[in-house]
Structure 1
Amino acid sequence: MDNQAYPNVKDLLILFLILLLFMIGIGAVAGLYQLIPNVPTSPLIQSFQNLVAYTISLLATIWYASRKSKKSQPDSFSLGFNPFPAWLIPVLIITTLAMTVGMDRLASLIPMPDSIARFFDSLFNNDIFSIIMISVAAPILEEMLCRGIVLKGLLQHYPARRAIIYSALFFALIHLNPWQSIPAFFAGLFLGWVYYKTKSVIPGIIVHAVSNTTAVLFMFLPKEQQDYLGWLGMPVYIVVYIIAMVVFIAGCWYIEKRMPANTR
């Protein structure tokens, strides 16, 4: 274990506050645009502002965390864009699709007030900028931060299981609401395990992108069909759920069997 590696658990709390400050500050600056007289506004412009504010906030946080990581380990800093076996790509895609079925009802464990549901609906306008933010920007930037920097550092402080759990908790926390945080935590466990096995953020980006894009596709359906249960109906959903859990377990087993033993 390397006690100098960044971050440890205490560092994570500070890093979360840093991210929150960037989000609030950059969001406030973006919001000033709305106050300028005679400046055109539209849902598309709002989506573009959300994309820019989100991207800058995450990049600023990655920059901060990268500086801290470089300072603690100047000779071994890397964001983790390392090569990995090509066979892993289709396995990850299939396993992730199965995982999305398994996580389908997690967000509904906490009832969502109508006002919060309307707020979330307003954030996604079914346009190109919203899709880019969810399906492209979030997978790349969040994996760079949560796995490429955070989990890499945690693995040098704690046993793998604890490090993966801590990184999943951080990943859940940065979603800032329980309806996204609950599924994000369980997804974060899988993403952390994949990073631990591969030492690369690219597989995690693939998993993240497939999961987020699946959610985006559901948003184009009528409100009552925006999850697997609503889309398939109860009898079919139960069958699909069981098959998905078998596929997910088989996918994890196959990855565990095929990947070389982790030595770092």
Structure 2
Amino acid sequence: MNPQIKVGTAFGIVILSLLASGFVAAMLLLGLQPFVNPELVTSLSIFLGEAFLFLPVFIFLYGKQVNIREVFRLKPISSSVIQATIILSFGITFVVDELDRLIGIILPPPDFYLDLIGNVRMENPLALFILFLGGVAVAAIVEEMIFRGFLQQLLEKIWKDVTKAVLVTALFFAVIHFNLWWTIQIYFLGVLLGYFAWRTNSVFPGMILHAINNALAMIFANWGYMAEPWYSWNGHVHPIILLLAIGLIFYGYSRFDSAVKQSSRQLEPLS
């Protein structure tokens, strides 16, 4: 990481990336809407918007002679860490779903917000494939590299306060989603993603959690009615599933903690 990059510059380049991403998505929607299947336009705008999110940051760093793998925290992780992260991620995602439902009771989303969610329900197979590719794979890879790799790591080094760096990055991550009704949930996830990145010094665990969360959200948006009889209970996640999810979190974290410690010991130099 280049210590000459200042905090304001880092936030500025990330904001520029967000503007570039939004511009590309908007141009696609406006330019293709009259001629192409609306579902295909939506999925393409999400896919290319996420992809272009990375471009300004990459161009900015390319001329600074930095180690790209280091600056984006692209450090390999062990298979044990991967397995533990997958277990943890499923548990976390189901608990966050219940958190979302509880917040929805206190702060009910308006109709236009529910209509926006409906935009990810698609019948066109190609549009659905592109949506999953962009909203799951590309989003998880690009957003983790930018927020937990580039931005959070820079804040950790400049502020020398990991907690502050994780919390501020998570807050920024939540705010830039421009979704009042998901702010708490996204912030909570952002804190966990930041913890994973700091604990392993790698964005790969965060990519796994991010991808699983987004994938399950899109699966339930499109086929949730099939799971409704056994997954939901009086508008909440079924208590049995919630208990299983909490169990996955405890079991997954125990394995995660052991795997990370084991990886750290293997990297220690011999005395």
- TM-score, normalising length from structure 1? 0.81
The answer to whether the Cα contact below 8 Å between 2:121 and 2:222 also exists between their aligned partners in 1 is no
Is the counterpart of residue 155 in structure 1 residue 156 in structure 2? yes
Query: Superposed, which structure 2 residues align to 1:218-233 within 5 Å?
Result: 218-222=220-224, 231-233=231-233
Give the equivalent residue in structure 1 for 2:145.
144
Please state if 1:178 is matched with 2:183. no
Rounded to whole Å, the distance in 1 between the matches of 2:36 and 2:258 is 56
State the one-letter code of the partner of 1:82: K
Say which of 43, 47, 59 aligns to 2:39: 43
- The 1-side partners of 2:162 and 2:13 are apart by 21
Deviation at 1:163, TM superposition (A): 1.1
SS state at 1:157 partner: helix
What SS class does the counterpart of residue 223 from structure 2 fall into?
A: coil
Q: Which residue number corresponds to residue 168 of structure 1?
A: 170
> What are the ranges of 5 or more consecutive residues in structure 2 without an aligned counterpart?
none
Q: Deviations over 1:118-158 (max 9, x none)?
A: 12212442511111112111101101101110111111023
Alignment-derived partner of residue 92 in structure 2: 99
Aligned-pair distance for 1:224?
9.6
CA offset at residue 91 of structure 1?
0.8
* 1:27 Cα offset (Å): 2.9
Matched residue of 2:78: which SS?
A: coil
Does the C-alpha gap of structure 1 residues 88 and 5 become closer, same or farther in structure 2, counting only changes over 3 Å? farther
Most deviating of 97-106 and 117-126: 117-126
Equivalent residue, structure 2, for 1:204: 206
Q: Which whole-Å CA distance do the structure 1 matches of 2:12 and 2:218 have between them? A: 31
8 Å Cα contact 1:124-1:130 kept in structure 2: no
Task: Give the equivalent residue in structure 1 for 2:82.
Answer: 89
Summarize the alignment of residues 183-262 of structure 1 with structure 2, pairs less than 5 Å apart: 183-222=185-224, 231-234=231-234, 237-260=238-261
CA offset at residue 52 of structure 1? 1.7
Q: Check 1:163–1:87 CA distance in 2 against 1; reply closer, same or farther (3 A cut).
A: same
- Greater shift in the superposed pair: 130-139 or 168-177: 168-177
For the 8 Å contact 1:65–1:149, the answer to whether it is kept is no
Contact 1:151–1:192 (CA<8 Å) still a contact in 2? yes
2:73 to 74, 80, 87: 80
Aligned to 1:27: 25
- C-alpha distance in 1, partners of 2:213/2:42? 24
- Deviation string 1:228-255 (CA, Å, 9 cap, x unpaired) is x983325982233233224313433442
Deviates more, 1:235-244 or 1:181-190: 235-244
| More helix by percentage | 2
Quick one: which amino acid aligns to residue 202 of structure 1? Answer: F
Gaps of 5+ in 1: none
Going from structure 1 to structure 2, the CA distance change for 1:78 and 1:103 (only over 3 Å counts) comes to same
Q: Which amino acid aligns with 2:40?
A: L
Q: Is this contact kept in 2: 1:5–1:157, CA < 8 A?
A: no
Question: Which residue of the other structure, out of 106, 109, 119, is the alignment partner of 1:122?
Answer: 119
The Cα RMSD (Å) is 3.1
Query: What does residue 3 of structure 2 align with?
Result: 4
